[in-house]
Amino acid sequence: LATIGAPMWGRHTVSELEVRALSHLRDMDLRMLVIDEVHNLLAGSYREQRRFLNMLRFLANDLCASLVVFGVNEALETVRGDDQLARRLDEHYLPLWEDDVEFSRLIQTLIAAMALEQRSGLTVASLRTILKVTGGVTSRVFIMIKSLAIDAIETGEERITDEAVQAWQPVWTKHAWSIPRQPVATFG
């Protein structure tokens, strides 16, 4: 309710808040719900996971909205466990980045977005190192470039150097490291 700018006053039960939220979403003529990191539902118990999936199905049906869900492979198995959602599931996998011009453009765009004071100008060898270290997974590429930019600012270098790329160590968890693909699931 706060995110959509709905006025908040007084005390309400959860069910009253749900009714208000649905009413506001209908008034907004909501056509799509986007849920990022749906794999966080795995932190809940089996019962909580079922409740969350029921809520997703209900929202998509009640609002006549498309549902777009981003997450890792493990979450897809949980979503597939709901037969009604699984029948509507249209899975798409984001491809891993490859050693090509598009990857080079991505890195250049990310570095430019970091607004460092100096031009970075990485070599092809550094681009290949970034690709190797990240496994071509988009989120890992973003993490690495962001971390390198922070280090560049903290050291006063104000640019990402080839040496920094070579010395950088991954910070992702063992769980995240095992993700072979970058799935995107959409429900209509």
pLDDT, tens digit (0-9, with 9 covering 90-100), for 48-79: 988 888 888 888 889 998 888 888 777 777 77
What does the buried/exposed string (b/e) look like for 122-158 if buried means 16 or more CB atoms within 10 Å of the residue's CB? beeebbebbbebbebbeebbebbbebbbeebeeeebe
Query: Which residue did the predictor score with more confidence, 98 or 90?
Result: 98
Answer whether residue 145 shows pLDDT above 70: yes
Q: What percent of the chain has pLDDT over 70?
A: 90
Mean pLDDT of 85-89: 77
Confidence of residue 172 (pLDDT cuts 50, 70, 90): low
Confidence of residue 152 (pLDDT cuts 50, 70, 90): very high
Contacts of 149 (CB under 8 A, 6+ apart): 111, 114, 116, 160
Answer whether residue 183 shows pLDDT above 80: no
Query: Which residue did the predictor score with more confidence, 65 or 103?
Result: 103
Contacts of 103 (CB under 8 A, 6+ apart): 97, 127, 131, 136
